[in-house]
Chain A
């Protein structure tokens, strides 16, 4: 079954109006900010962002904010709980007639992979179980980026981070596999989950537009290529994001009420094309090529796509 966009078919349909404004102190070439900017074009300005500590802490450095929406800042582990509080307060105000229904706002959690995969997992699980009506936007840069790029459960096998360097005992760097948060979320049976990449802007916009019709938890995993942490020139952010999808490492998919559909079927280039662009994988190629490690990464990708029809 091939997936067709209903609304966004041409780049010229991307709304010109901005909701995440320039002037943030985030890194030049931030893939996470790129995704958030595109997502906000669909979400609009009637939003409360509940921001878990992370790179996006830098979004709103008092007294400046790039958002034309509200912003609530929480600890890394409690953003979905914060979202529950905001949602409940809105619901109570509407029920009592103190807030007109038209003035209702969307509640959107912003969390990095450190929050999403690790610290806020129990809080998210609780929120999904309670069928909280909110959006979850995870910018996944596969490490604890803001503190200096340490290992997170989202770090893939073979990547080098500050706390998983390539050493004699583990020459490939990170030994663990990336946690499959998509399937963990899906096991909770929320109405909408999707993975997105900013290099596929129409796919991204379409998914955010589609999610709007579902009430309940709507969860998004956004690929956030990270020049600072992944050690590549900021100019290559789009290439890294594109190759992650084209090599099959970052599948673009959505799950509506648990049913998974891949929204883009890549031709699947060899994973080397993706790995070679980034300094965090350089030790797999220099000074000697770690054939086993690269084959392992390729094998994981192949195994994933074997089950995809």
Chain B
């Protein structure tokens, strides 16, 4: 049995990619199983999806703890402990990362080791479609290539899954064409499925509680959410060009997060650890002083 785990950010298409691979395998006569992890459906938040492919009926259920292949749609997830990208990854696991960096650069900057394949899908999609959006078809094609599936079945699976999402024929064709380009661009590898060392069970600790009369958790704390950084959510960031800014404060009023503050000179400033990269400020700016830049890898996280 081949176990594939997808990691992405909500809206990138990790879930659909897992479905594409599952459907493609099914079309080739395999037994396939795909499921996303359930959570509140939020954009930008880490999500995971799982595909299992086998010749025999699959009895295993649930999360994949020991993946043969891990597909990472956003390199910033590697450093995010809540995403748990590297859980259960050993020297036999093949890792694919969507990143503009080379494998060596990525190894140097993150804790990734082992068998690593890299391709900049975001850049390909930007060049082809001219806007940011889901890269589910591309992720599916790459995963299919690494899993050893045939291009015809992946093409067909993309049509089926994207039609299900309500996309139109021309959009699906463009996705298909680019997906095939990615399929060709990735070198096939030999996956080494088979039994793995079981995941050691976590050490359980019994927490100690004080009686409620003595005190409970500090629920009277002030606004402490601001100590958390949401930088990892961004794939693009707004950048202010102060020379073009007319100081209208529209971006300050429109930022849902409150990540834009007003400096003493009356001009706005983006505080990046609080910016989720929704780019509302870019859209409302009347003088185009807010510009968009692609998020540099591993910076400011």
Partners in one complex: yes
Residues of A within 8 A of B (CB): 11-12, 14, 16, 18-31, 33-34, 37-38, 55, 57-58, 60, 62-68, 146-149, 160, 166, 198-199, 201, 227-228, 233-239, 279, 282-283, 286-287
In the complex, whether B50 has a CB less than 8 A from a CB of chain A is no
In the complex the two chains form, is A65's CB within 8 Å of B168's CB? no
29 A-B pairs (CB sep. < 8 Å): A11-B248, A12-B249, A12-B266, A14-B249, A14-B252, A14-B253, A21-B226, A21-B258, A22-B258, A23-B226, A25-B42, A25-B45, A27-B45, A28-B44, A28-B278, A34-B255, A34-B256, A57-B40, A63-B219, A63-B224, A65-B225, A148-B41, A149-B41, A201-B253, A228-B41, A234-B280, A239-B283, A282-B166, A286-B168
Q: Which residue of chain A is the closest to B260 with respect to CB atoms?
A: A22
Known: A22-B274, A67-B223. Is A287-B168 also a contact (CB below 8 A)?
Answer: yes
In the complex, whether B88 has a CB less than 8 A from a CB of chain A is no
CB distance from A171 to the nearest CB of B (A): 12
Most A CB within 10 A of own CB, among B169, B218, B279: B279
In the complex the two chains form, is A228's CB within 8 Å of B42's CB? yes
In the complex the two chains form, is A34's CB within 8 Å of B10's CB? no
* Chain B residues touching A, range: 35 or more
Q: Which residue of chain A is the closest to B276 with respect to CB atoms?
A: A28
Checking B11, B166, B225, B252 against A283 with a beta-carbon cut-off of 8 angstroms, the contacting residue is: B166
Known: A11-B249, A65-B223, A65-B225. Is A18-B44 also a contact (CB below 8 A)?
Answer: no
In the complex the two chains form, is B228's CB within 8 Å of A227's CB? no
Q: Total A-B pairs in contact (CB under 8 Å)?
A: 149
In the complex, whether B284 has a CB less than 8 A from a CB of chain A is yes
* Residues of B contacting A23 in the complex (Cβ-Cβ under 8 angstroms): 225-230, 274
* Residues of B contacting A66 in the complex (Cβ-Cβ under 8 angstroms): 223, 225-226
Residues of B250-271 contacting chain A, CB below 8 A:
250, 252-259, 261-262, 266, 271
- Tell me if A's interface is mostly helix, strand, loop or mixed: loop
Residues of B within 8 A of A (CB): 10-11, 40-45, 131-133, 166, 168-169, 217-219, 221-230, 233, 248-250, 252-259, 261-262, 266, 271, 274, 276-280, 282-284
A165 to B31, CA, bound (A): 29
Known: A33-B257, A149-B41. Is A160-B223 also a contact (CB below 8 A)?
Answer: no
* Residues of B contacting A55 in the complex (Cβ-Cβ under 8 angstroms): 40
In the complex the two chains form, is A26's CB within 8 Å of B42's CB? yes
* Residues of B contacting A20 in the complex (Cβ-Cβ under 8 angstroms): 223, 258
A19 to B226, CA, bound (A): 11
15 other A-B residue contacts (CB within 8 Å) besides A37-B257, A233-B133: A21-B258, A24-B257, A28-B44, A28-B278, A33-B257, A58-B40, A62-B219, A64-B227, A65-B222, A146-B40, A146-B41, A160-B166, A166-B166, A227-B278, A235-B283
* Residues of B contacting A147 in the complex (Cβ-Cβ under 8 angstroms): 41
